[in-house]
Structure 1
Amino acid sequence: MSKAEKTKQLIIKKSATLFNTKGYTSTSLSDITEATGLTKGGIYGNFENKDELALEVYKYNSGLLGKSMARSLGDEFPTTIEKLNAFVDFYRKSWKVVFETGGCPLMNAATEADDQFPILKKKVTESFESWIRKIAEVIIQGQKKGEINRNINAFEFGSLFIMLVEGGILLSKTSGDEKFLNLALDRILIMIEQELNIIPS
């Protein structure tokens, strides 16, 4: 990696929590220079403007969370039910870190990704679609292996899982009480056991 690339990555990483906690619109150039220790010239020498940096920070933040989520749905867990349970467990265990760094980067960006920042809105939409698709693909593979109820719609359940998780995070972050996220995760586990599992427990 060249010196310029290293500097660019440093700016993105140092700005990641800042944008996620303070907001993409509210974060000022002065905030960024303070967080990175660089001058305004140093920032603009690597990014055309704040919007370009904001997009790179969003891709960085959402990418980190996406990789962690993907690992929970990976080959480490042999059965589909175990993969889906691991997905729930990931959020159960990582909520403190998520809250300390400002909350879910997708949800935070979504609240600001209006017509004033259409490129960010497009990226957020793509991220949510990708997450839903990943969960749906795991469910579909489970249906093919005879582990998941073939009568359910995988994409509908993928959407419901994300809706419940994001809603739980929003209420818990707003209230400072993790019970709302845990309530959402408990509901997902019930859906997995009673609606997806071919042998309900």
Structure 2
Amino acid sequence: MEKGEKTRKYIIAKAAELFNQKGYSGSSLSEITELTGIKKGGIYRHFSNKDEIAYEAFNYAGSVVGAQLAQAINQQETASGKLLSYLHVYENVVEAPPFIGGCPLLNTAIESDDCHPGLRERAQQALTGTLESIKLIISEGIQSGEFKSDLDIDALATFALSIMEGGIMMSKLEGNNRHIRMNIKSFANYLKMVCLSELG
């Protein structure tokens, strides 16, 4: 990797941490230069504006979380275990989130809802991709005979992601992991109800 590309990736990584902690609107280019040790001129050699940095930073944060999630999922053999992995990755969200600042999707979706169409679009794309991944796991669970055949795939995917994001938000706000952990237990109990193996 050439020096210029290394510098660009370094800027993206540091900006991603800043944006995910303070938000896009709450972060300045001056803070990025301070974090990276690179002057504004150096930043502008790699990016045309703050928006471009933000888009790349969001993608980077998502890839970091995605890699940890993929590792957690690959360690599971059942569809239920794979679905629960989405929540388990965030079970220590207060002290040790998979990416500093919490969930990039949640943070970006909330901040960009009405004020930044570009970031909102990227958050929407990430939402769609995440839901599709969850639906694929559910479909595989139905095909393998783990889940009931009449299970509503769309509804379960939305439920899974909603209780994950809701648990993250509440735990972060309260400064206590109990909400995400309660949701893990509740979701595990729910999945037992839709598993054919648990119904005898």
- Structure 1: which 5+ runs fail to align? none
CA–CA separation in structure 1 for the residues paired with 2:140 and 2:94 = 28
**Percent of aligned pairs with the same amino acid:** 33
Who is 1:133 aligned against? 132
* Deviant stretches of 4+, over 4 Å: none
- Equivalences for residues 65-144 of structure 1 within 5 A: 65-74=65-74, 76-92=75-91, 96-98=95-97, 101-144=100-143
CA–CA separation in structure 2 for the residues paired with 1:161 and 1:173 = 18
- Structure 2: which 5+ runs fail to align? none
Q: Per-residue CA shift, 1:30-54, capped at 9, x if unaligned? A: 1000000000101111100001001
Q: Contact between 1:33 and 1:43, CA under 8 Å: does it hold in 2?
A: yes
CA–CA separation in structure 2 for the residues paired with 1:93 and 1:116 = 30
Who is 2:180 aligned against? 181
TM-score by structure 1 length?
0.91
Who is 1:198 aligned against? 196
What amino acid sits opposite 1:131 in the alignment? Answer: T
What amino acid sits opposite 2:185 in the alignment? Answer: D
TM-score by structure 2 length?
0.92
Q: Contact between 1:88 and 1:188, CA under 8 Å: does it hold in 2?
A: no
Distance 1:170 1:162, change over 3 A: same
**What's the RMSD between the two structures over aligned residues?**
1.8
Offset of 1:156 from its aligned partner?
Answer: 1.3
Decide which moves more: 149-158 or 52-61: 149-158
Q: Contact between 1:73 and 1:138, CA under 8 Å: does it hold in 2?
A: no
Q: Contact between 2:90 and 2:98, CA under 8 Å: does it hold in 1?
A: no
Q: Per-residue CA shift, 1:63-87, capped at 9, x if unaligned? A: 111222233233x433323323444
CA–CA separation in structure 2 for the residues paired with 1:81 and 1:125 = 25
